[in-house]
Amino acid sequence: MSYLEINDLEKHFVKKTGGMLTSRLETVKAVDGVNLRIEKGEILGLVGESGCGKSTLSRTLMQLIPPTSGSIVLNGENYSTLSPAEVRKRRLDFQMVFQDPYASLNPRMTVFSTLAEAVKQRHKGMKGDALEAKVIELMSTVGLDAAQMKRYPHEFSGGQRQRIAIARALAPEPKLIIADEPVSALDVSIQSQILNLLKDLQRDLGLTLIFISHDLGVVHYIADRIAVMYRGKIVETGTAEEVFNSPQDDYTKRLLASIPKLNVS
Ligand SMILES: Nc1ncnc2c1ncn2[C@@H]1O[C@H](COP(=O)(O)OP(=O)(O)O)[C@@H](O)[C@H]1O
Ligand SMILES: [Mg+2]
């Protein structure tokens, strides 16, 4: 059994279209029968063009929206059969890193407050020196200077803010982190620093990560395995080398052909 098993997962949205007299209900199959396996300590790259269902898949995995059908089994536990109250308790097991760290951090909270709050989600009674030591440890884990912990998000650069967001995701000791386009808003020179940080965290902490991107080059660099998503379905999975060197699916081939400049050696 794999660490994370996603079985026949579907998330359909029903949308009203047309005018008052011609209105009808249309079903958008944002996630349309996804099967995926992820091992502990693995970075899975999820790639596909805008609108193919990547964010909907991640929101469903995060238990933020209920699936239409199918199951999510993490570490042997079937989350799809849990009651809403039990799901809420386990929500800490899943943490996210978003594209825009500035929008996802509270501008009125210092880094210390942000990280302390995230630590206390898991360790409710932690305070004083123990809490401060934990925050300092988190900051050093993501390569930030702990002397800056009383500063606010706007006092940091974009790359540093994404480090804070990563530290916040690590703070409640999740089982799985999903990073949805985490470097897409960063300068190219900063992107590789964040990618290398995530790789270091995988090596040092055994991080299990789903890394979502529309950018095949970025995914190739960071991922152990790649899943290609197209119109709500996973059309191809394989190691980064397999997918790049011998793509099987026509959509993957088209995706690869659209980035001729990429050096994949
Ligand atoms: N809450 C929603 N209601 C209706 N349609 C939605 C909703 N969320 C996403 N969709 C639709 O589902 C499809 C997949 O969207 P999304 O998961 O955001 O794709 P991606 O992250 O790959 O760009 C799109 O057609 C989008 O319009
Ligand atoms: Mg998205």
Span 184-195, pLDDT tens digits:
999 988 999 999
Which residues lie across from 54 on neighbouring strands? none
CATH number for the domain harbouring residue 163? 3.40.50.300
Which range of residues forms the domain containing residue 10? 4-257
Does some domain include residue 143? yes
Does some domain include residue 204? yes
What the block records as the tokens of 140 is 């050093």
Span 166-178, pLDDT tens digits:
999 999 999 999 9
Q: List % helix, strand, coil for the chain (3-state, nearest 5).
A: 40, 25, 35
What the block records as the tokens of 55 is 């964010």
Does some domain include residue 22? yes
- The residue whose CB lies within 8 Å of the most ligand 1 atoms, and thus the one to mutate among 9, 14, 56, 230, is 56
Does some domain include residue 262? no
Does some domain include residue 214? yes
Please tell me the number of the ligand nearest to residue 98's CA: 2
Q: Whose CA is nearest to atom 26 of ligand 1?
A: 51
Does some domain include residue 235? yes
Does some domain include residue 264? no
Q: Which of 254, 249, 241 is nearest to 45 (CA)?
A: 241
Average pLDDT over every residue of 88-110: 92
| Cβ 109 under 6 angstroms from ligand 1 | no
> What is the count of structural domains for the chain?
1
| Cβ 83 under 6 angstroms from ligand 1 | no
Does some domain include residue 253? yes
Span 35-75, pLDDT tens digits:
999 999 999 999 999 999 999 999 999 988 999 999 999 99
Residues near ion ligand 2 (Cβ under 5 Å): 54-55
